[in-house]
Chain A
C-alpha cells in the first residue's frame, strides 16, 4: 500500500498529472446527502432527503469528462421530518417503495464546463421508469484529509417532473416537479 502510494505520487510528480481514481461516496461517515425539494402549494419549499444510499465515481481532475458516477438510493429511507407524510410518500400514490425499493442514477457522459463545473448526463431510474436527466455539478474541493485519506466532493442538482416517472398524484400546479440536490464526498480507494 505504502509503496504503491509512493510510486503513484512519484508518477504524478513526474508527469505533473493526476490519474483517474476511484472514489466511494462517504456514506459511512455521512459526508454525503441526497435531498429533494418540492413546492408546497406554490407558497414555500418542502425539503426532505433519502437517508440510505451508496455511490461510487471515478474522477481525474485533469480529464473530468472521463468521469463516471453511479448512485443507488433506498427509496424507503425517505425522510421529510413528518412520519405521516413519509408514510404517504412511500406508499402507492407516490414512490411505491415496496415495489420500487431502489432508485438509481448512472452517468452516461460528462461534459466539463470549466471552473470545476460539470454537466453530468445519465439515466435516472425511479418508480420503475428510467429517463435521461442532466445533473449540473460543481466540485467543492479536493485534497488530503487529516486521517491519511484523499477526498473530493461535489454538489449537483437536477429537476424532474413527477409525471415523467409515472407519479400522477396531483399536488397542485406548483408542485409538479421535484428538485434533487446531491452532495457527495468521495474517499479515494
Chain B
C-alpha cells in the first residue's frame, strides 16, 4: 500500500520517516564530531562536505515528505486527548526545527556567496549575505536547534515506546509495517 489511510501509513510515508530518522541522527553525530576535528585530521575537509551534501539531500527529501503528507490522509492518532494534542505539537515542532536547521545551515555556508557542493554532483546557489554576522548567528541557531531536535526526537521515540509497551496500541506498529492491522483495542 503506497498511500496512507485513515488507519495506517503507506509504505512511502514509512520509508521516508525511518530514512529521515536515520539521517537526522547521523547528521547530529557527524556535526557534533566534526566541529572538534583538528586541522590535520584527514576528515577536516571531507566531514563538513558530506554533512552539507547530506543536509541538502535531506532537505529535498523533506520537501517531498511535506508535499506527500499534506496530499493525503494522516492516520488517526491514538490515545487520550492530551496525548493527541502533545503528539501534534511535537510533530509540528519537529518539522519547524528541521526546516530551521536546513535554513541556518545553508546560511552559514553561503554567507560569503559561495554555493554548496552536493557530493560534487550539483551545486546549490547562494543568496549571499542577508544580515550582518550571518555565519555566526546562523551557527548559533544551527547548534542549539540541533540539540533541541535531538531532544524532541528522543521524546517522540519514547512516546512511541510508551504507546507500544504501556498503552499496547498500534501507534508504533503502524509506523513499522504497512499491512493491514486489526486494532488491538
Residues in chain A within 8 A of chain B (CB atoms) = 76, 81-84, 86-87, 90, 169-172
Contacts and interface: CB of A to CB of B under 8 A. Distances in A.
A83 B139 CA distance: 11
Interface residues on B, range: 10 to 19
Interface string B85-117: 000000000000000000000001111101000
A87 B39 contact: no
Contacts of B133: 76
A87 B136 contact: yes
Contact of B39 (A81, A86, A90, A169): A169
Given A76-B133, A76-B136, A87 B108 contact: yes
B40 A90 contact: no
A171 B39 contact: yes
B108 A81 contact: no
B57 to A, nearest CB: 19
B136 A90 contact: yes
Contacts of B111: 83
B134 interface: yes
21 contacts: A76-B136, A81-B112, A82-B114, A83-B108, A83-B109, A83-B110, A83-B111, A83-B135, A84-B108, A84-B109, A84-B112, A84-B135, A86-B112, A87-B108, A87-B135, A87-B136, A87-B139, A169-B39, A170-B38, A170-B39, A172-B39
Contacts of A81: 112
B151 to A, nearest CB: 23
